[in-house]
Amino acid sequence: MFAHDIGDVVRAGTLEGQVVLVTGGGSGLGTSFARRLAVDGAHVVVGDVNESGAGQVASEIGGEAAVFDVTDSAAFDAVVDRVVAHHGRIDVLINNAGIAPPPDPERTQISFANQALRMEGRLTELTPIDATVSLTDDAWHRMMNVHVSGTFYGTRAALRHMTPQRSGSIVNISSIMGLRPAAGAPHYCAAKAAIIALTKSTAQEVAPFGVRINAVCPGWIDTPLLAPMDPLALAGIQMQIPMGRLGRPEELAEVVRFLAGPESSYCVGDVFAASGGWV
């Protein structure tokens, strides 16, 4: 066993003295990640474009808020540089900020009708849902920007400090849709798959320098992101989840906590799904 491995084991269980930035920390999964890391002693910077969400979570956990948009690379650089200027380091970055495609009630109804027809074997009567042909350039670019560019900007900004520091952990929040894409949201699925490739490429580049980068693929998790969904569609999804229920943000926070800390010392470019059996 190498000497530094012994040190890692000794430090396992605490994040005391660690400085963490969580994007999208003002809601849902990001909030539970921020809370979980703070419980183990990390100083958490709660990043979000939503000022009140970030402020509330930061004050609850004794951290600090950083109000910025992850699609603004200069703003991302400035926040990371400011964190390092104030605290002397950045140990963990959770690239979590994300958006979902807006609900489309008409398409949902077509999907329901198609499912009924499929059950009866009436395949020639299906109606095209046209999710791809009706997707605008703006919607495509917005989805790519928030997820792929945002994750890239954050990774680049953090690595400028982590590589010279010779330590750090970056956790990118992808999705089961990046592993097992579904019809209806090609931009979301493509963005989440791109995050996985970005994770693996960057992880291989910096692994020799003490920086670890991994991805988490949540299944269907009960957060405000799912709130606009049609209740019947959500019920249908729950029926398909082998565990029979949505995940809780706290359940994902345990995976993120593991990857953030020294307990995951041999995880590099690895992809962790927590899906209730969906994947």
* Site of interaction with ligand NAD (CB under 6 A): 23-24, 26-30, 48-50, 53, 69-71, 96-99, 146, 150, 173, 175, 218, 220-221, 223-226
CA distance 8 to 19: 17
Least CB distance to ligand NAD at residue 253 (A): 11
Least CB distance to ligand NAD at residue 41 (A): 23
Contact between residue 95 and residue 105 where contact means Cβ atoms under 8 Å apart: no
Contact between residue 74 and residue 12 where contact means Cβ atoms under 8 Å apart: no
Least CB distance to ligand NAD at residue 245 (A): 12
Residues 6+ apart with CB under 8 A from 248: 221, 222
Q: Which is nearer to ligand NAD, 193 or 225 (CB)?
A: 225
SS3 assignment for 41-86: CCEEEEEECCHHHHHHHHHHHCCEEEECCCCCHHHHHHHHHHHHHH
Contact between residue 90 and residue 139 where contact means Cβ atoms under 8 Å apart: no
- Is 188 one of the catalytic residues? yes
Q: Which is nearer to ligand NAD, 168 or 218 (CB)?
A: 218
Q: Which is nearer to ligand NAD, 98 or 269 (CB)?
A: 98
- In degrees and rounded to multiples of 5, residue 92 shows phi and psi of -140, 135
Q: Which is nearer to ligand NAD, 19 or 246 (CB)?
A: 246
Least CB distance to ligand NAD at residue 9 (A): 30
Give bridge partners of residue 36 from the DSSP assignment.
none
Among the listed residues 33, 76, 188, 220, the single catalytic one is 188
Q: What is the DSSP letter of 220?
A: S
Residues belonging to the active site:
188
